[in-house]
Amino acid sequence: MDVAKIALEFVKALFAWPVAAVIIALVFVKQIRSMLDGLRSLLDRINKVNAFNLSFELGQQLLSEAKPTPQVEPPSTDISLSVSSGAYSTDYRAIFLVAGIANPTNQPDQVVNWTLSFPKLGIELEPTPAPHNLIGGVPWWPSPMVKLPTNELIQGSLYFRGTGVLAEGLPEEPLHGRVTATTLHGKTLTHDVEIYRMATLQARTKAPSA
C-alpha cells in the first residue's frame, strides 16, 4: 500500500510540475519576454559595439576636429559649422563623421537639411539612420533636424549610406567633399571634408608622434 501511495504521489508530481511551469509562464509572460528582449539587446549591442572598429583614440580625435578652431581675431558672432574627417566603412559601404555646430548668438535655430556632396563624382548624399545598435563613438543625431540652442556647441555623428561608386568602395583617398547644413532661419553652413578609409584613420592614431 505504501508503495502504491508513493507511486501515486510520484505520478502527481510528474503532472503537477509542467502545469505549474505553464501557469508561471502565463502569469509572468510579459516579464519573461522583457527579460529575453533585454538579453537579446545586450548581446546585439556587444556584437555591434566595435562594428566600425572605432578606437577610443580615434573617437577623441574626431571630436577634437569637430570643434571651432580658436582664432586670434575676435570670435565669430554667427553660427559656425566644424566637421571631422570622414570615415568610410568598407563593411557598411557608408561614411560617418562628427559635426559640431556653435551658436554664439542670442537666437536659437535648427538645422533642417544636411548634404554631403562630391562634385567630382556627381554624388550628393543625405544622412540616414545608422543600423540598429551601431555605435560610432559620438552619439548619432536621431534626426537631421538638429536644434541649435543659444550660446552652445553641440556635436553629433552623421551616417551617410554610399550610393553609386561609393556603394562599391572609396575610389580615392582622401576623397574630397563638402558638408552643407541649412537652418530654419535660412542660414547655409558649409565645411570641406576629407574622407578616409577607417583603417587609414586607425593607423594614424596608432602611429608614434614625430
pLDDT of 117-155, one tens digit each?
999 999 999 999 887 766 656 788 878 899 999 999 999
| 20-51 pLDDT, tens digit each | 555 555 565 566 666 666 555 544 444 444 44
pLDDT of residue 14: 52
The alpha carbons of the chain give a radius of gyration, in whole angstroms, of: 27
pLDDT of 52 reads 57
Q: List, in order of start, the domains of the chain with CATH numbers.
A: 2-48 (no CATH), 56-206 (2.60.40.10)
pTM: 0.68
How would you classify residue 42: left for phi > 0, otherwise alpha for psi between -120 and 50, otherwise beta? alpha
Q: What are the C-alpha distances in Å from 134 to residues 45, 46, 139, 145, 158? A: 8, 10, 10, 20, 12
DSSP, res 165: G
Q: State the DSSP code for 140.
A: B
Nine-digit cell string for 94: 557608408
Work out the average pLDDT over 68-83.
Answer: 67
Q: Which of 206, 201, 208, 203 is nearest to 89 (CA)?
A: 201
pLDDT at 138: 75
pLDDT of residue 28: 58
Strand partners, 176: 194
Q: What is the mean pLDDT of residues 80-87?
A: 93
**What's the mean pLDDT when you consider all of the chain?**
77
Contact 86, 196 (CB under 8 A): yes
So what's the pLDDT on residue 202?
82
Give residue-wise pLDDT tens across range 145-196. 999 999 999 999 999 999 999 999 999 999 999 999 999 999 999 999 999 9
What local confidence, expressed as pLDDT, does residue 198 receive? 87
Which range among 1-5, 81-85, 132-136 has the greatest average pLDDT? 81-85
Cα–Cα nearest to 104, from 57, 52, 68: 68
Q: Report, as an integer, the average pLDDT of 13-19.
A: 56
Distance CA 50, CA 21 (A): 39
Percent of the chain with pLDDT over 70: 60
